[in-house]
Structure 1
Amino acid sequence: MKYIPPSNPSPFATSMLPTAGQRAYVGGLIRRRRSTPQVGRPPRVGRVLTESELKVPGRVLIKRRQLLQKVPLCERTILNLEKRGQFPRRFTITSRLVAWDLKEVDAWIAEQQTAARLPGVPQAHPVPRRPSK
């Protein structure tokens, strides 16, 4: 027996899909298909600071990704520390861009190192586990 395709093709058939430049109705909205397919772009990576840039006199501002490379904390922890006044405050450069002063961040790191070396400061120790029953 020979296969006979239906006379009324499915709306999802490949021949019914719009080609480049044609309109498609998706969820009640008219969307125009791109003329060239988008190839997967590499993810944006923040610029890594070099040693020569770190030694430039004057104020050096670092963006969020550069701060996260320098300080091993997550964004939420940094925000909480800023709110409590325990971390350098950020600068608002534009409505979508914030930065930190590199000297203040370096001073904060040095302060944390000296506080950790003081004899009266408790160090992190593993919590003993209770035996299971």
Structure 2
Amino acid sequence: MKYNPPSNQSPFAPSVYPAFGQRAIISGIKRQRQAAQKASRSPRAARTLTESDLRIPGRVLIKRRQLLQKVPLCERTILNLEKRGQFPRRFSITSRLVAWDLKEVDAWIAEQQTAARLPAVPQAHPVQRKALR
């Protein structure tokens, strides 16, 4: 095979992209940046938990995004654990918003830590098989 060196032609040159000029590509990039800035300023964005939030007396509620920051599990795993009764239950605040009690989540995390420090106990029970005739 023969080696073909790369050309020094600009990737925005009209011969490479005849339908797009450099201005069209740059304006598209600008639109993407503006949309990203608007999305980051969204009023629905969840605030992050701070140490002062954790010290407030009484019940502290956390939303889904805050829970996912605190517990390194995916949403589906958390839902499955809730159904089995192995994770604190969510409760609905409105028809579209659910929350968890921070104290219950912290207690669950502490429980998981103590269980991890205990000696390993086999989880599965041996399956009894029928004798072959």
Q: Does the alignment reach a TM-score above 0.5?
A: yes
Is 1:109 aligned with 2:89? no
Which residue does the alignment assign to 2:57?
57
Moved over 4 A (4+): none
More helix by share: 2
Q: Number of residues paired by the alignment? A: 86
Residues in 1 aligned to 2:113 and 2:121: alpha-carbon distance in whole angstroms: 11
Which residue does the alignment assign to 1:84?
84
3-state SS in 1 of match to 2:39:
coil
Residues in 1 aligned to 2:95 and 2:56: alpha-carbon distance in whole angstroms: 27
Which residue does the alignment assign to 1:95?
95
Deviations 1:3-37 (A, max 9, x none): xxxxxxxxxxxxxxxxxxxxxxxxxxxxxxxxxx9
Which residue does the alignment assign to 1:47?
47
Question: Contact 1:90–1:100 (CA<8 Å) still a contact in 2?
Answer: yes
1:71 counterpart letter in structure 2: V
Residues in 1 aligned to 2:121 and 2:59: alpha-carbon distance in whole angstroms: 33
Identity of aligned residues (%): 82
Residues in 2 aligned to 1:67 and 1:49: alpha-carbon distance in whole angstroms: 10
Q: What is the root-mean-square deviation of aligned Cα atoms in Å? A: 1.9
Question: Contact 1:115–1:121 (CA<8 Å) still a contact in 2?
Answer: no
More strand by share: 1
Question: Contact 1:92–1:98 (CA<8 Å) still a contact in 2?
Answer: yes
Displacement after TM superposition at 1:46 (Å): 1.6
3-state SS in 2 of match to 1:99:
strand
Residues in 2 aligned to 1:42 and 1:52: alpha-carbon distance in whole angstroms: 27
Residues in 1 aligned to 2:79 and 2:39: alpha-carbon distance in whole angstroms: 28
Residues in 1 aligned to 2:94 and 2:63: alpha-carbon distance in whole angstroms: 12
